[in-house]
Chains A and B, each alone.
Chain A
């Protein structure tokens, strides 16, 4: 019995307490209640319960992990059930406390609605018992899931994850299906107003589960096929995929309609900024926290030059202002780069942060108000026009952003493997050695700052014309941190990583609109978790993945 206590009870309790803490946190921050508005499977399970089940199941899953190698199925299941139960117990305590005492005066989210949600609408006693039972069962399932062999677990997990993702994206997919000409009845069959229909969920599950089985086979076959082709045909295959991708990108505004194109535009602006910061941080290793300054400079230059209401009042065309904004951005990059040439790491980060804040405070101050409008900003920035047609809607502006992104991707891609790119990487790894190898640090650092600033100014210019008005408070530190987060989440120094990061960090909160309030909380948590668990990002650059995994950098294996 003491053996059972030591080897099963105590570790399961520990896991349960950790996951219970997570569950309590999510509940009290308000995420669970906010998610009750959103159904995963219409009429069956809402997003709030899904999150709760995921946490409880996760507790079981990770509690069972220690018995996996010994294949002690029973112990795994029991341990999972205990962990899930403990998680539920913590929530149960919250329910009991919340109904007995008024927690709301301190914890604003401990509302009666939340208590009803946690007790499944039953009375407190019955509800808590139900909650505990649910915790034990879900924990048991999670534990068993860990114990089953990989070939069973993988399709199951992919299927569940797939249902979740499709349900979150259901509005987007429904719009896509509609523009592709699927009949309305078919879309209704799959998607309800707030989530998937049960039939849709079943279909998604089966589809993705079977895909996860078939995909590895299919991929290896296609790869074999392609690599057995003669070089010239191989190149044409690559060219064809590229053209197909480009065609898809060109048709996005037609496929996704107005609202979603606006979201995609925002993602595009962040991709553009991310590509710039990726050069500064990812390639050259210079952590710049004042990056938003260049975005602001691009926007302000555009505003000043094009708006008839600005202090200059020139009212130039966007096509003149855009390159000017980029040049001014590059100059500002060099100008702010010179003083920080000798700084490294932490100090550089703090100084650039200081620069960014100085620029924001100045833009906001009465001192510069006669020139750049102070807190009122600059209004009436005109839209760009091509051959007499004004680009007004976000669908039209999309092409401008796409153009900017493609140019930036091309430049980054060509730079990454060039002499300049290698010099940056050398510099990132060790400045002193790089200098000893004959790399001109001043030149390459300034070059990195200038190119990064150019991309950011480019993005800022489009931002200004897209919004038609700019205010200093749109250029706060959080933008810099946002861009930094997206390149870290995507994978430093990786170009596809920037795109993935922007889609996750900028696109996802727009899709999960209830969640938008928690996006900064999510960024913070993601930054910490990524650094602890996966410092190379979701889509790492090949070189960086090797670096971080090779030299015994046991970040993931460290004690947590």
Chain B
């Protein structure tokens, strides 16, 4: 029996309607809508969508048995060809439930914040409305992505967030640099998208080989057992090769999908677009980093967990790429001066954690971290935006300091975010990160799991260090800005402070619904069976480890200790003894330069890939292939051939003499009659 709920479609539709109303007005009317109308449309849509999401998720959680929790909304049949069908339909299950709550909830707060933030922008008088059109469109695309019932609908959202990120990152397009950053994000994402598409095709191929041509998640998950022992039929022109097992194809498909996830979620080696995405307005960074785009890759891997859990090779790759990205980005974060860049690398690093979790089969832990990360990272970005506004568009931490006195709300809320990401006990980030580390520690079947665990714990320490560094440098000590700016620093209006406060509260408490029994049952009487894991377990095929409470305590204490050391170091270097930092930096100058310059990865790409590519494009593809072969031989050659042959031969067909036409007609008629009569 299908669980149908026809109102699911309103969740993505509401932001789309708002974007269309506002956007079409912008396109066809001369002026802007009045600001209050823009604000109501822009913030109202995600807030309503959030209310609707709460409503349906409540229905989902209370109305069904744990294994049966899903709601489907079939809007219409999108593609129907042969035995292949794809519906435009939405699926609400525990996994997408968590995601829509995060996307609409955190998204709404970011919309509200943006009202305050973009008010300052006087660069473009239509910018205010344009910004909210894009923002709503982004929300719509992300909701399509998470609610899609099959890979194709998901892909629509997947591409949608790509386009919107391009539009938003390059939002201040009058400066070339910003437009370039938008392009970079778009182009790097195309590489990932190519992988994603290949993955979809390969998956479809493997399922077709098993006799179930489908791209629908539930159907794929239910019928994946059929793939066992099947071999793939190669096309006839390749039939001299032996067929190979579908399992191999599945692993390949998972790797391709993961390449897509790497692009969207900024993992090695495709992370390079994300730090540059800081060119967009700060609320955009918050939205992209916290609630939407970058979590799409993690979500997709978790959504496809039924395939990944059967492809151990692909899963191990996911885990290792995630762990290395986490460590790699965290080390870069230690040396950055731009406050938003620190946060950007921190996002890359945290996403690495999520993939690490997904790679060891702890999908629910990955989604848990997605959710908590959405709160504290949104908080940190919005806080950074507030600081940037307060400092008159200064982003360099070298020229900040002592802001806690002038901007106490921003400062204290940011401290909540820092505590959450750094792993202060019982904060949301601590719970989700420890959950991941615990799963990694127990994942004995993943190659090198103890190395993965070590990397995870080390990264936790580094994270605490650079977040501490950020907070101490921005909010404590003396202000290092020029006197003129110093006089003008003041707290931001409540449009901006309200989301900060809400997010700060959630950064603290967001994890409390998922306390593991080790603390939950013991201290608060909350059983794990009520928790998010349990809610997610039936969808994401998470590996569940039985673990005794003392091990759990021990591991948590250990990682918390490492994080505390990191934070303590930051406190020492940036609060207690500020001279020490300079000594250390000068002692390890080459290493520092390496990290500060982000390991020269961008430069490496430039030299190894981009420059040769440009050279080949210019010298070979443009001048030879395009100019000579395609244009010269293909297009112009065809035209010349047609003109020449018509001139020489075909012109005799056109005598202008009526009677020769009649004669030809007559002959033709006779031939036709002979053919028809003779043929019959």
Whether chain B is bound by chain A comes out as no
List the interface of chain A (C-beta within 8 A of B).
Answer: none
